[in-house]
Structures are given as structure tokens and as C-alpha cells.
Chains A and B, each alone.
Chain A
Amino acid sequence: MSFLADYVHYVGSFGLVLIGLYIVLVKSNLIKVIIGINLIDTGVNLFLVSVGYIRMGTAPIFSEAEAAGRQMVDPVPQALVLTAIVIGVSVVALALSVAIRLYEHYGTLDLGKIRELKW
């Protein structure tokens, strides 16, 4: 039970990164590979935010009602993850536009066939 409370977020984010890496390595459809890249991004963001968490901490926002008795969690990983999320969506958009052009040129999205057509 204590193992659950201690490490469960790490296990979840590492599992997400490994599943995304499996998709990138094994699958042969280009859009599936881009879905895998998106899963890797989400897993890394979850890991970064869970590193900055402090037990019994509160969100790093001052409000008038609160007496600021509890300690606040680390705000720097949250700022980094905000940047990383937006960059992740721009990478996915650019990759999908390349996939659309590849489909218009080759007629297929299968990576095995596209590599064969090159020669």
C-alpha cells in the first residue's frame, strides 16, 4: 500500500512513455506513429509535473480567502510543462501535414512501402 502512494505516478508516466515507444518502433502506419509520439509527450509531461508535487501541498496561486498555511507545490515544472504541451501540439500538426503530403505523393501511408518506393 505504501508502494502505491509512493511511486504510482512514476509507474504510470513511465508506462505511457514505454507504450508510446512501442508504437513508434513496431507499427507501420504513419498516423499510428504520430499517435505514439503524442503519447510519449503526454507521459513525459505527467512525469515532470509529478516530480514537483509536495505531499499535502496546495496549488501555487495566492487567493484572498486562504491563510497560506500549507506549503505550495513547485511552480517551475508547471511552467515548463505548459511550454511543452504547446510545443507538442505544434510538432503533431507539422508531422501530420508531412503525412498528408506523403499520402498525396505515394498513395499510401505504410512506412514499409514508402521506403521501398524510394529505391
Chain B
Amino acid sequence: MIIFQTFLLAAMLVAAICAAAFRDLMNAVIACALVSLTASIIFYFLQAPDVAMAEATIGAGLTTGIFIFAIRRTARQEEDEKSS
């Protein structure tokens, strides 16, 4: 079981790196939803079903919907060229 949780944590970190690296904002938001989903499954394995339910609905559902509405209203599909 710890192998499965390690795999889930690795998938979560990969999704977070993808959320940082994607230039298109829609793709970054979907990667953020994937982070919330894997975090919800890890919460279930940590014997916290209430927190898993809250994270799944609020993190993966409502936060993604809110982000998509905001991206649609700012009419920006692509991130600007990075000025670091």
C-alpha cells in the first residue's frame, strides 16, 4: 500500500511541475485539478474520508470552475512571454 501512495505522491509532484511549466493557462488549470484529485485520494489512504470528500468537491470541482470562468473573462488563453 505504501508503494501505491508513493506512486500517487510522485504523480502529484509531476502534475504540479506541469502546472508550473505549461504556457497555456487552461492546461495549467487542468494540471492543478489533477493535483487536487491525487491529494484527495491520498487523504483517503491517510484515513480521512471527510477531508477527501471536501478536497474532491471543492479543490477539483469548484476551484477549477472558478479558474475557467476567470480565464474566460480575462480573454487570455496564452501566457505572455516570460519576463524573469
Chain A residues near B (Cβ < 8 Å): 4-5, 8-9, 11-12, 15-16, 19-20, 22-23, 26-29, 31-32, 34-36, 38-39, 42, 45-46, 49-50, 52-53, 57-61, 73, 78, 81-82, 85-86, 88-89, 92-93, 96-97, 99-100, 103, 108-110, 112
> Bound complex: CA of A32 vs CA of B36, how far in Å?
16
Partner of A99 from B32, B74, B80 at Cβ < 8 Å:
B74
How many whole Å from B53's CB to the nearest CB in chain A? 9
How many chain B residues have a CB neighbour from A under 8 Å?
46
Bitwise interface map of B from 39 to 74 toward A, beta carbon under 8 Å scored 1, else 0: 100110011111100110011001100110111011
Partner of B9 from A12, A31, A39 at Cβ < 8 Å:
A12
> Bound complex: CA of A61 vs CA of B53, how far in Å?
14
Please state if A92 and B63 are interface contacts (CB–CB under 8 Å): yes
- List the B side residues contacting A57 at CB < 8 Å: 47
The 30 sampled A-B contact pairs (Cβ below 8 Å) are A4-B2, A8-B9, A12-B12, A12-B13, A16-B13, A16-B35, A22-B20, A27-B82, A29-B25, A29-B76, A29-B79, A31-B67, A31-B70, A31-B74, A39-B16, A42-B59, A45-B39, A53-B47, A59-B49, A61-B49, A82-B50, A82-B51, A85-B51, A85-B55, A89-B63, A96-B67, A99-B74, A100-B73, A103-B74, A109-B76
